[in-house]
Structure 1
Amino acid sequence: MSYFINLIKDRNLILQLAKNDFKVKYLGSYLGIFWAFINPIILILIYWFVFQIGFRSMPVDNVPFVLWLVAGIVPWFFISEAIAVGTNSILDNSYLVKKVVFKVSLLPIIKLLSSLFIHIIFLVAGIVLFFVYGYNLDVYYLQIFYFLIASIILVYGITLITSSLAIFSKDVGQIVSVFIQFGFWLTPIFWSFTIVPPSIQFWFKLNPVYYLVEGYRNVFIYKRWFWEDPLLTIYFWLVTLFILCIGIFLFKKLRPHFSDVL
């Protein structure tokens, strides 16, 4: 509890550093932070052109393929990006580790919130795309806040583990990249979960990211509440909280050795 109390106390510093990190990503370019808006819009337009016009992909559950794809890929972009940058958050700011006054534990969550800003832009672009196709806002969209919080907690727990281990072995960053690639294809983002034989669907559902991807699709497309699948919801939170506890324990255990290794 003391760990989370300290995070709450430092919330203003965390938000300010996250904003600075977000701005630094686009520092020096002519359009600056406007690239944060342009990139997701261009990417969604590319998906629309390739799959809807080029491949003439068939609808999934009577929903245009591009909408079905965007609803699943938006949370994945955030999760994969946040884990990737969070893993190297301490290594990339090694000069801060030896400063006694700076709390190194803030670095993973700063990178996470910086990625969250971009995710929100993607979300807005996705909502606009659904609106263009005739899908209006409804009460189910309130669940977006729930799945945002769920995604943040899961990713934060993972990055506490990976960022701590990456200091002692740079191979961790490469291993994480491989797992992200595997995770992309093992999660029903480009393919429908209905093609998986019922006998092995259980194993795919063990992936906590499955819960988040399907949750976003339930918000945008299927109009289902998260509590309508209570067993999967309970499983997700048990796994997520377990990962978070392991991450906090590992980080606090290894923190005294960071400066020696770096």
Structure 2
Amino acid sequence: MSVYADLLRHRELFASLFRRDLRAKYKGSVLGLAWTLALPAALMLVYLVVFAVLWKAQPTETEHYWLFLLCGLPPWVFFSTSLQGGARSIVENAPIIRKVRFPRQLVPLSVVATEVVAFVAMTVIVLVLALWFQPESRDLAWLAIPVGALIVVFTAGVALAIASLNAIFRDVEFVVTAALLPWFFLTPILYQLDDLPGAQSRPWLVDLLHWGNPLTPAVESYRTPLYEGKLPPTGDLLYLVVAAIVALALGALVFRSVDDRIASEA
């Protein structure tokens, strides 16, 4: 995994890219880096108002639905923003890539690192709310932190693969953007899989939504200790560990296959 070992070998360069991306993200704003907390909070508030208040979505026997919703949002928001930003990162940095020889994988990975800041902010918000409104979760809510770390690893691998492909095939960015909307509704963030109207009559479809969508085990593993105060489901957690390893390997494989072409085609 020398592709990722370059993060350590060139950690000063990676830190520089990270600071540049973070400053660029909030450049010219009055609050500056304070938006790392304000933006996630505002985004979660919008979802809460739309789905829990206006739409009045309410899964069966789900208390504090607003908290159920908020506990499932951070992994999705982090994943989707990382993929969107990472997909175009190499293309946007093409002038630098053509002039200077450096480990190009650091570019999309720095974008993911930038989104980790917002992910941490969102996790802090939901962790505080869970500890306050769900006293039974106080012993195990902290498990959302290592689960979140696995989600970061999984996302980094996927983002690297997509960024590498988009440098060669520009349609990839648009395919990802188009896929994210239906992907959101196919991920059990607004609902519980067992509460779907067709869950009893079509169990195979529920299994497909659960195990065919790598974000489902991620969301379930992250939300369970926060919202229910229970250990993450063993199957979901193992799935997430394997998915993270596979994503890293896939990201490295795709990057290596196109690395020589990135400078000329980005």
How far off is 1:256 after superposition?
Answer: 0.9
Pairing partner for 1:233 from 212, 237, 241: 237
Pairing partner for 1:207 from 206, 213, 223: 213
Aligned to 1:243: 247
Q: Find out whether 1:253 has 2:260 as its counterpart.
A: no
Which 4+ residue blocks in structure 1 deviate beyond 6 angstroms? none
Amino acid at match of 2:234: D
Q: So what's the TM-score if we normalise by structure 2? A: 0.87
Aligned to 2:168: 168
SS state at 1:199 partner: helix
How far off is 1:8 after superposition?
Answer: 2.0
Tell me how far apart the structure 2 counterparts of residues 179 and 237 of structure 1 sit (CA, whole Å). 24
How far off is 1:132 after superposition?
Answer: 4.5
Aligned to 1:159: 159
Tell me how far apart the structure 1 counterparts of residues 263 and 39 of structure 2 sit (CA, whole Å). 37
Contact 2:141 2:225 in 1 (8 A): yes
How far off is 1:219 after superposition?
Answer: 1.7
Contact 1:130 1:136 in 2 (8 A): no
Tell me how far apart the structure 2 counterparts of residues 14 and 49 of structure 1 sit (CA, whole Å). 38
Contact 2:70 2:126 in 1 (8 A): yes
Contact 1:96 1:104 in 2 (8 A): no
Q: Find out whether 1:118 has 2:122 as its counterpart.
A: no
Cα pair distance change 1:132/1:144, threshold 3 Å: closer
How far off is 1:37 after superposition?
Answer: 2.2
My pick for the range that moved more, 172-181 or 232-241, is 232-241
Contact 2:18 2:113 in 1 (8 A): yes
SS state at 2:89 partner: coil
- Correspondences of 1:1-262 after superposition (within 5 Å): 1-58=1-58, 61-135=61-135, 138-194=138-194, 195=196, 196=199, 197-204=202-209, 205-226=211-232, 228-230=233-235, 232-262=236-266
Q: So what's the TM-score if we normalise by structure 1? A: 0.88
My pick for the range that moved more, 204-213 or 39-48, is 39-48
**Cα distance per residue 1:38-80 (max 9 Å; x no partner):** 2223333444445555455546544211101001111100011
Tell me how far apart the structure 2 counterparts of residues 12 and 138 of structure 1 sit (CA, whole Å). 38
**Cα distance per residue 1:7-64 (max 9 Å; x no partner):** 2222343234213311211111222222332222333344444555545554654421
Cα pair distance change 1:136/1:19, threshold 3 Å: farther
Contact 1:51 1:65 in 2 (8 A): no
Count of aligned pairs between the two proteins: 260
Long gaps (5+) in structure 2: none
Identity %: 24
Long gaps (5+) in structure 1: none
Contact 1:164 1:254 in 2 (8 A): yes
